[in-house]
Amino acid sequence: MSNRKYFGTDGIRGKVGQYPITPDFALKLGWAAGRVLAKDGVKKVIIGKDTRISGYMLESALEAGFASAGVAAAFTGPMPTPAIAYLTRTFRADAGVVISASHNPFYDNGIKFFSTEGKKLDDEIELEIEAQLEKPIDCVESKQLGRASRITDAAGRYIEFCKSTFNHDLSLSGLKIVVDCANGATYHIAPKVLRELGANVIKIGCEPDGVNINDNCGATDIRALSKRVIDEKADLGFALDGDGDRVIMVDHKGCKVDGDQIIYIVAREALRQGQLKGGVVGTLMSNMGLELALKNLGIPFERAKVGDRYVLEKLIEKNWRLGAENSGHVLLLDKTTTGDGIVAGLQVLVAMVHNNMSLADLCSGMTMLPQVLINVRFTSQHDPLQSHAVKTAIKQAEQQLGNHGRVLIRKSGTEPLIRVMVEGTDQSEVQNLAEQIAQAVKAQN
């Protein structure tokens, strides 16, 4: 990805009002993408967004750019990222566009694309769009301009799709579920899906105002969800992120169930049902406990680089179906083409109902090793990871852990952060080593 000027691991992302998340860039991006896609006969794109206030500005600018390239745009309004992937496929549109910065704060935003198959664009096409951005903008003749329209039943279509991934002979009747939609794009989707499948649903984080997305709620902050599950004596909780492609769950005791545990439950259930094809792909951040638990089941496990696009690449390479990041991105390629928080959560609920087991019981076959992740914001221009002090701190930690743990230091692909991860068998040792490395990184600012 290093040869890209704009596209990162998950589209183009940044702070609203700062280049490239500006109306003039969005306009040109729409035009450039339209020119690249239209040369293959593309005439229609679907544009969705999350609940950020800046979505209005960016969708208008994108639509004008697409129109100038002769491409029609159909708007869905606030809609989860995986819903746009699904709708792009079902409408036979030639591309899907999502305006979202996923789990980031409201003042960030981003733009990402899906192909006609509902998959992220190939690297070559993203590079073509970047090359087109270097050219002066022009406009097709008036009679060739793209038109704008609205898909009025987008939410209903996606709700039905989500329900179709849940076994028809099962029901959520009798389950009390708290769902936290992060004041994001699933606020009008997830509660309805769960309710229509029979659950008693208590919703929080379902009152978006344009600026409260991911604010002390959702998959990145489950404190409110955990408390509500305990207070309501609910069976479990669901936490989605701002654009609905991640899910973190909470058991009846308020304990977190992350992406590693979710994919373990899904893989084990597939194995039990004789439906498992191949193994599971995790990432460099996946807990060693997942690897060990899958090994005990005889399920192959591979690690990819961090980022759901890399998990997807590895799945395609291996011809496997199940992959996940511990952050809650769960890929179930037998169900859909991209990470989908609602669909992933439903598969865990299938396992619960099928086996008449609690979420806590389903997790009990996997022991998570202590893992500490510290995010260090960096402002300096030079790379802190090249510092002698940081390298020394990492080496000392690795020597102390020996064969009973590991250290992973990496730059975030979406934010100016250095992620420091230390994993081992002793919680206090892991915490101390992570803090020592984080201090060494902070000192470089």
349-372: b or e for each residue (b if 16 or more CB lie within 10 Å)? bbbbbeeeeebeebbeebebbbbb
Report the run of H or E that residue 61 belongs to, with start and end.
helix 54-68
Q: Which residues pair with 47 in a beta bridge?
A: 75, 97
Per-state percent for the chain, helix, strand, coil, to nearest 5:
40, 20, 40
- Does the predicted TM-score (pTM) go above 0.85? yes
- Backbone φ and ψ for 308, nearest 5 degrees, come out as -65, -25
With beta carbons less than 8 A apart as the criterion, state whether 361 and 275 touch. Answer: no
pLDDT at res. 444: 85
For the beta carbon of residue 25, count every other beta carbon within 10 angstroms: 20
Report the run of H or E that residue 292 belongs to, with start and end.
helix 288-297
Q: Which two tokens stand for residue 399?
A: 């020597």
What domains are there in the chain, each with its CATH number? 12-150 (3.40.120.10), 174-255 (3.40.120.10), 258-368 (3.40.120.10), 371-442 (3.30.310.50)
pLDDT at res. 1: 45
pLDDT at res. 373: 92
**What is the pairing mode between strands 247-251 and 256-257?**
antiparallel
pLDDT at res. 40: 64
Measure the CA–CA gap between 8 and 162, rounded to whole angstroms. Answer: 29
Measure the CA–CA gap between 402 and 180, rounded to whole angstroms. Answer: 40
pLDDT one-digit tens code per residue, 269-309: 999 999 999 999 999 999 999 999 999 999 999 999 988 88
Of 363, 284, 423, 309, the residue nearest 301 (C-alpha): 284
What are the angstrom distances between the C-alpha of 6 and each of 14, 25, 100, 288, 414? 10, 11, 15, 34, 12
* Residue 391 amino acid letter: K
**What is the pairing mode between strands 44-49 and 95-99?**
parallel
Report CA Rg, the chain.
Answer: 22
Catalytic entry in 68, 100, 102, 115: 102
For the beta carbon of residue 155, count every other beta carbon within 10 angstroms: 18
pLDDT at res. 42: 66
Burial of 399 (0-12, 13-18, 19+ CB in 10 A): exposed
Q: Which region, left, alpha or beta, applies to residue 265 given φ > 0 means left and ψ of -120 to 50 means alpha?
A: alpha
Residue ranges for the chain with pLDDT beneath 50: 1
Measure the CA–CA gap between 170 and 28, rounded to whole angstroms. Answer: 48
Is-catalytic flag, 102?
Answer: yes
- Backbone φ and ψ for 335, nearest 5 degrees, come out as -110, -40
For the beta carbon of residue 249, count every other beta carbon within 10 angstroms: 29
